[in-house]
Structure 1
Amino acid sequence: MTTQRQEQDKRYDPADSTLKFVTRQDDITLDDDPDTLRAEMSCGHAVTPQSLTAWCRSLLDQGQYVFRCPALKDGTVQKCEAQWSYQEVRKLAVLTAAEQQHFEETMAALAAAEYCEFKSCPGCHTCVEREDISNLNVHCTVCSAVTAQAFEFCWQCLRVWKGPGPRSDRCGNNGCTNKDLELLKGCPTTSLPQVQNLDPCPSIRACPTCGLLLEHDRTGCKNILCSRCQVEFCFVCLKLTPACLQTSSYFLPCSDGVAPRQEAIPSWKRS
């Protein structure tokens, strides 16, 4: 792991002709120390190795592996949002070997979680991808080949499949329950102090797009951005933000009131 001293010591090489150096302030931190060498990103905004590393690490910590510029466009209050490639980030953040390993491993894990759904087979412990996300009855080709007979297990309780299939709710094993669904049904209520005259709502919601369980931090408006699918929705009425804002606003109660506790977790239909 890179130490704080190592990160502070990161500097650009003034002789590097592949970088465009600028003397204006850092567009991420707004630092304007005249003795600090800054470089220009592909979007035109200025950074230092430290500010770029810190910003991109914060995105990874939030579950985001796509790096976008947070600076404001000149003369506006609109964010740049230009996408930076990892290769550009690696170069201009002057990532150390340890930082590169952390970034790349985290990015790979986040991408796999977004585009694939893997679990370990209880028979052979190899990673298995579920083809039909609505079916808990999963066939392991490795175990089936080794034992010369069909081997099926439950995606939910990770035990050998019992009972008829396919099924989307549970298998026949005792105690096979959807813990996420139980959490949705039994979580306490919460309030959003900055939203006017809002009734209490469940403290945990499943993203209406991908099904990821999320909790509001109780600050700011009633809308929340899903860290997995990057879709923003209203934590109160569960509509996507554009639909909610047609009849309400960020800090006012929803026209349809508080959505009841969810009794099913949406399946992510990736395009």
Structure 2
Amino acid sequence: MSREKCYNRRDTSLTFVNGDDVLDFLCSDFKSLRAKMSCGHAVTPMSLTHWCRRLLDKGECRFVCGQTGCDVEWPFKEVCKMALLTPEEIKYFEKKMFDNATKNDFRVSISVPLETLRNCPDIVFEDVKGVTGCPSVRACPTCGVLLGHKKNLCKNTVCPRCKKEFCFVCLKLTAECQKLNPSSYYNECSTGVAPRQTSIPVWRRK
């Protein structure tokens, strides 16, 4: 049986409370102190880990509070910290998030850390010819939201956040990509595959 994870009472970055563990749906009565999430609800590392695993097992790729009436989405970075995820758990969560995201939609927004941009596998396009070595997750070059591509149809995608259309391969806006190589929706780009991103663009609204 795995050892129960508990918060360190000396951790000043946490806000401890005396309230109920709102994610302890099985009444496990975990021993850890209760700490507040960004939504204001109290959890323990174990209850949060179990809840997030349950979401992933249901096919979700986002982490939303399980308290009735609360639809706050927690950043993955917060989940990692508050659930005291081990390196093995983080790796498992990242893989499930990506797998779930690519199954749910043709082009999907996914909340995964920067490491995914560096370590995600290459995509093998079904309909785009001549492209190899393209990462399967990209940050929108305009607003920075992370996107996956489900391999089929053309190489361009429309960001659900900023609504800009860009090429998943060269990371240029579609209009610029097509200007350099007209009618290349299903072919390689004139500038080749953009390298893996090592930073996430900041959206500067005009």
Q: TM-score, normalised by structure 2?
A: 0.51
- For 1:127 and 1:116, how far apart are their aligned partners in 2? 15
TM-score relative to the length of structure 1 = 0.39
Structure 1 residues 35, 141: closer, same or farther in 2, change over 3 A?
closer
**C-alpha spacing 1:142/1:91, structure 2 compared with 1 (3 Å):** closer
Match of 1:69 in 2: 65
CA RMSD of aligned residues (A): 2.8
Asked if 1 retains the 8 angstrom alpha-carbon contact of 2:6 and 2:31, the reply is no
SS in 2 for 1:39: strand
Distance 1:139 1:33 in 2: 53
State the distance in 2 between where 1:23 and 1:139 align.
56
Q: Is the 8 A contact 1:65 1:107 kept in 2?
A: yes
Q: The residue matched to 1:5 in structure 2 has which SS?
A: coil
Distance 1:140 1:63, change over 3 A: same
Deviation at 1:15, TM superposition (A): 0.7
Establish whether residue 140 from structure 1 lines up as the match of residue 137 from structure 2: no
1:12 aligns with 2:1: no
Superposition map of 1:204-223 within 5 A: none
In 2 relative to 1, CA 21–115 (structure 1 residues): closer, same or farther, beyond 3 Å? farther
Structure 2 match to 1:222? none
Determine the structure 1 residue equivalent to 2:39: 43
Runs of 4 or more, structure 1, over 4 Å off, are: 30-35
8 Å Cα contact 1:26-1:32 kept in structure 2: no
Aligned residues: 118
Q: Is the 8 A contact 1:25 1:33 kept in 2?
A: no
Cα distance in structure 2, aligned partners of 1:62 and 1:68: 13
Equivalent in the alignment of 1:128: 125
**Structure 2: gaps spanning 5 or more residues:** 109-122, 133-151, 153-206
Greater RCO (Cα-Cα under 8 Å, separation 6 or more): 2
CA distance in 1, matches of 2:35, 2:107: 36
Could you tell me which runs of 5 or more consecutive residues in structure 1 were left unpaired when the two chains were aligned.
73-78, 118-125, 130-137, 144-154, 156-271
SS at match of 2:89: helix
